[in-house]
Amino acid sequence: MFPTKRPELDAMLSRLLIYLEAPTAAAKVVAALRAAPTQEEQIDLAVALRSLKTGWTTPLREEYFRWFITAEGYRGGNTFASSLRRAKNDAVGLLSDSDKAELKTVLEARPERRSPREALAARTLVKEWKLDELVPIVERGMKSKRDFERGRQLYSAVACSACHRFANEGGSVGPELTGVVGRFGVRDLVESMVDPSKVISDQYQAINIRKKDGDTLSGRIANLSAANVNVVEDMFDPGRMTNVRRPDIAAMEPSKVSMMPEGLLNTLKEDEIQDLLAFLLSRGDPQHAMYR
């Protein structure tokens, strides 16, 4: 049955395979880890693998421990980083001395930190899509069988999952998107991606701050009543805040520019855009009629 392409079920099945020491568990779960598009899915699989004792090859172990290097750039709560370190230490604890010597380079490698913004910048431009040409493309795509797995992968590839919660996964600094199909039609949804500044929710609106010394900054205000104002300037890095003393502020006003980047669809081809929008409009349901 594994993998089923249903994240919650695969998380359970991976634990069962590992508990039973299935001969193919290492290869199958590492392959699923490699293909998982969101950090939540990856963490489920990686943490489960920490207790697997059998079925490993050196390439599989190397790939697994390289995942922990990548995961250093992921975000979570206060105990997130320490929990990942414990998982890695548990996995290292199962290695023999010879395994540790063979994997020494990857075990001691420094983190590969790459923000979603850097990943987006590295993507190749396909076309600067316009709203009026995209709407018929998406509507046409809904009339043919779509690729659920590709839509799911693209949702993370263009950084949607970095800020938005969808089907119980992803970030929480932007609006929750699971119920988007109930609130928006195709045109409205596409427009919100092509021109995110046209309509900005008060709940997610940035604030422009002009300081008395002439400096300016823009971002979400993380606190309202303290003597200092903490400003999140980059929604891809919500844990990093700029501290501004209230006495130093000359003026504050709502920004007319969305914190959501423009051009997120410009690195996608027609059929990729169709699969991404189908994934959103299906509410992440692989059994939806669009996939039959």
pLDDT at site 200? 86
pLDDT at site 262? 86
Q: Which residues of 121-145 are buried (b: 16+ CB within 10 A; e: fewer)?
A: eeeeeeeebeeeebbeebeebeeee
- Give me the chain's average pLDDT, please: 89
The yes-or-no verdict on residue 21 having pLDDT over 90 is yes
Q: Directed axis angle between helix 25-35 and helix 58-71, to 10°?
A: 30
pLDDT digits (tens, 9 = 90+) for 178-194: 877 667 889 999 999 99
pLDDT at site 278? 93
| Average pLDDT over every residue of 55-84 | 89
pLDDT at site 6? 87
Strand pairing partners for 254? 207
> pLDDT grade, residue 70 (50/70/90)?
confident
Q: Return the CATH number of the domain spanning residue range 202-254.
A: 2.30.30.100
pLDDT digits (tens, 9 = 90+) for 206-216: 999 999 999 99
CATH match for 121-196+261-291 among 1.10.760, 2.60.40, 1.10.40, 1.10.260: 1.10.760
Which residues are CB-contacts of 130 (< 8 A; sequence separation ≥ 6)? 194
pLDDT at site 181? 66
pLDDT digits (tens, 9 = 90+) for 5-19: 888 999 999 999 999
The answer to whether the beta carbons of residues 126 and 268 sit under 8 Å apart is yes
With 0-12 / 13-18 / 19 or more C-beta atoms within 10 angstroms meaning exposed / middle / buried, residue 239 is: exposed
Helix or strand holding residue 227 (H, E): none
Number of C-beta neighbours around residue 51 at 10 A? 15
pLDDT at site 118? 73
Phi, psi (degrees; rounded to nearest 5) at 243: -95, 125
pLDDT digits (tens, 9 = 90+) for 217-226: 999 888 766 7
pTM: 0.71
